[in-house]
Amino acid sequence: MVVESYGEVDILDESHIVTVRKTIREAASRIGFGVTDVTRIVTAGSELARNAFHYAGRGVMRWQEVENGQSIGIELVFEDHGPGIANLEQALEPGYSTSGGLGMGLPGTKRLMDEMDIRSRVGEGTTVTVRKWRRK
């Protein structure tokens, strides 16, 4: 049996946020994360999937297993071609929101993961990459 170490989920409607969660849950569990880390990773993915869907209308989530020396991990990349984030610093401030939410999405997601990288251009879209590591 071939075990996939990467995958992709299109986010085209609201129900795909659930598909993203299920996909990440399976992947993170298989990589060997414990239940609390799996919950953190799935929750972070849920926030990012919802962001892509709400701000851009659609997007894509790619996941892959990653390795770095003594560590093994999971990388999630969320890409959309929405309006982009005009002020990244502000978007990472707790409590800041342009959508009427509580503004905990991005700063909260960052706390749940080990690494977060955001690339965004106004009018072109946003790519958010997050990683979580564990010892081999």
User: Which residue ranges make up the site for another protein (CB under 8 A)?
Assistant: 14-15, 17-19, 21-22, 25, 35-36, 38-40, 42-43, 46-47, 50, 94, 101-102, 104-105, 107-109, 111-112
Distances (CA, A) of 94 to 42, 101, 103, 104, 113: 20, 11, 6, 6, 16
Judged by beta carbon, residue 1 or residue 35, the one nearer another protein is 35
Give dist(CA 71, CA 15) in Å, integer. 33
**Phi, psi (deg, nearest 5) at residue 6:** -155, 165
Q: Give me the numbers of helices (H) and strands (E) for the chain, helices first please.
A: 4, 5
Cβ 106 to another protein, closest distance in Å? 10
Cβ 18 to another protein, closest distance in Å? 5
Cβ 21 to another protein, closest distance in Å? 6
Judged by beta carbon, residue 2 or residue 35, the one nearer another protein is 35
Cβ 67 to another protein, closest distance in Å? 25
Strands 115-121 and 71-80: unpaired
Judged by beta carbon, residue 61 or residue 112, the one nearer another protein is 112
Query: Please, are residues 24 and 63 in contact by the beta-carbon 8 Å criterion?
Result: yes
Judged by beta carbon, residue 8 or residue 34, the one nearer another protein is 34
